[in-house]
Amino acid sequence: MSSSHRHPPSSRQRQDEKLFLFLVIALTLVAGVGSWFAAGALARHDRPHDILPDKERWLGDFALVDEAGRTVTRAELAGKILAVSFLFTSCSLTCPEVSKRMAEIQQLTATNDDVRLLSLTVDPRTDTPPVLAKWGERFGADTNRWYFLTGSKAVLHALIAKSFLAQDNSDPFNSMPGNFTGTERIAVVDKHGQTRIYFDGLRAGTPADAVAEIEKLRAEK
């Protein structure tokens, strides 16, 4: 009658097990620290914050393409109050947060036919209409009121630079397409096409504040 014996682990096996355990702990710590920094970055925006334009800005003429491949022009938005955000779909942290705030603004203005939402991509090479359509679906966009716009890079960047955001071309490490600053902002444009104010798109209170501003603009002549 034979019996089998289990040999104790060799020193090499014990070393491998310790190394594996060390790697697991290290990766867990790295993930935890990364989450902590990300949460901290977003928490810093959780305070009242609205910003006036750096100069007088007006919505320029444009003809861009929405997520359905339809041409959207400046003319068809005449007389509308706009909430405008900026995105690139390869952005995994701030852009989804800003789109969440836009979705809340959409919900809070659902009965206001004189309000439209625009999301302009700063990376049109990647953000084609089908890509933007998926992004819009992710956030429950009403495509009759919330347009995700793309087009030629030159046209988009010129429009954003003229109507909304400053550019910082002095920083060689700026990875933002177009070198725009403040892409996390949500701009509110009045019915005459003037950019009146910006709100921090990473702040939880922004949708309510933006809608309060929209209501004030609706009362203006």
Please give the chain's pLDDT, 221 residues, in tens. 444 444 555 555 556 555 656 555 655 554 443 443 344 444 444 444 689 999 999 999 999 999 999 999 999 999 999 999 999 999 989 999 999 999 999 999 999 999 999 999 999 999 999 999 999 999 999 999 999 999 999 999 999 999 999 998 887 666 778 889 999 999 999 999 999 999 999 999 999 999 999 999 999 98
In a domain, 5, yes or no: no
Q: Tell me what pLDDT residue 152 has.
A: 96
Q: Is residue 204 a part of any domain in this protein? A: yes
131 in any annotated domain: yes
Q: Does residue 153 sit within a domain?
A: yes
173 with 205, same domain?
yes
- Same domain? For 38 and 56 the reply is no
Structural domains in the chain (count) = 2
57, 26: one domain: no
Neighbouring C-alpha atoms within 13 Å toward the C-beta of 135: 32
pLDDT at 71: 97
Both tokens of 65, joined, read: 């393409």
What is the token pair recorded at 115? Answer: 């309000």
Same-domain check for residues 90 and 176: yes
Residues 179 and 85 in one domain: yes
Reported pTM: 0.78
Same-domain check for residues 31 and 67: no
Domain range holding 176? 50-219
Does residue 157 fall inside a structural domain?
A: yes
Do 23 and 75 lie in one domain? The reply is no
26 and 74 in one domain? no
Number of Cβ within 10 Å of residue 177's Cβ equals: 21
Query: Three-state SS for 119?
Result: strand
* pLDDT of the residue at 95: 96
Structural domain contains residue 193:
yes
Distances 119 to 2, 63, 220 between C-alpha atoms, Å? 75, 14, 25
pLDDT at 8: 55
pLDDT at 176: 79
Residue 2 inside a domain? The answer is no
